[in-house]
């Protein structure tokens, strides 16, 4: 039996692309908001005995998470063989230590919540800084995919004489990987965080790269 992919709202096109490559079947998920803001969730199809993969980028996690949690719990209660999460962007990875007394270490709490809902997780290029591997905080199996090979191949085929620019030191791992695949040099900006929204950026001397096409590459590393 083919895997059943259930996209959360806004993730339908991505689910269809994933299903075509598996192959898999894309199902439907019914959601709406009650007048008081609470979410309604319904899975119209039969999930009994099936491997169910919820597809949901968590780039805007707070409005999405509760509906995702209810949907996962519903699939499990209705008899799904496994309940899995495909989340190209994995939220709440930035706060991986307690920087100031009393702060929530949200990466660990979020990992605990997801691990209690799903049997496995697939994500792309999570923000791994002080955490070296997702297995340090997740108790379910995780699989990490890398975008660098595809990005590097695209740059090589479409951009003439590029210089890849990373926004901060934490992006260097990805910019280096893309540059390796693209056969292109890279530089990394120096960032100093002033508060949650304001940062100071120092640009290195780029004079020796004047003949190149400047190509910023931005990962969501908490900028």
Q: Which residues of 162-189 are buried (b: 16+ CB within 10 A; e: fewer)?
A: bbbbbbbebbeebbebbbebbebebbbb
Q: What are phi and psi of 177, to 5 degrees?
A: -65, -45
Cα gap 172→153, rounded to integer Å: 18
Tokens of 90: 């994995």
Cα gap 77→71, rounded to integer Å: 10
CB contact set of 25 (below 8 Å; sequence gap of 6+): 2, 3, 4, 5, 19
Q: Which residues of 131-144 are buried (b: 16+ CB within 10 A; e: fewer)?
A: beebeebbebebee
Catalytic residue (one of 177, 186, 191, 217): 191
User: 10 an active-site residue?
Assistant: no
Catalytically active residues, by annotation: 191
């Amino acid at each position: 039996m083919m895997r059943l992919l259930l996209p959360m709202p806004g993730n339908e096109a991505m689910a269809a692309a994933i299903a075509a490559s598996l192959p898999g079947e894309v199902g439907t998920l019914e959601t709406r908001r009650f007048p008081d803001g609470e979410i309604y969730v319904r899975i119209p199809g039969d999930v009994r005995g099936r491997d169910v993969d919820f597809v949901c980028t968590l780039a805007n996690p707070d409005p999405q998470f509760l509906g995702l949690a209810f949907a996962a719990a519903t699939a499990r209660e209705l008899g799904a063989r496994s309940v899995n999460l495909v989340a190209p962007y994995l939220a709440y990875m930035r706060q991986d230590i307690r920087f100031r007394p009393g702060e929530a270490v949200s990466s660990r709490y979020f990992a605990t919540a997801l691990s209690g809902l799903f049997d496995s997780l697939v994500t792309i290029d999570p923000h791994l800084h002080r955490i070296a591997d997702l297995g340090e905080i997740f108790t379910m199996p995780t699989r990490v995919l890398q975008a660098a090979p595809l990005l590097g191949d695209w740059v090589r085929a479409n951009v003439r004489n590029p210089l890849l620019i990373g926004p901060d030191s934490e992006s260097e791992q990805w910019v280096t990987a893309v540059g390796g695949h693209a056969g292109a040099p890279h530089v990394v900006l120096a960032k100093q965080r002033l508060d949650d929204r304001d940062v100071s950026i120092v640009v290195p001397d780029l004079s020796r790269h004047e003949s190149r096409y400047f190509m910023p590459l931005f990962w969501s590393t908490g900028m």
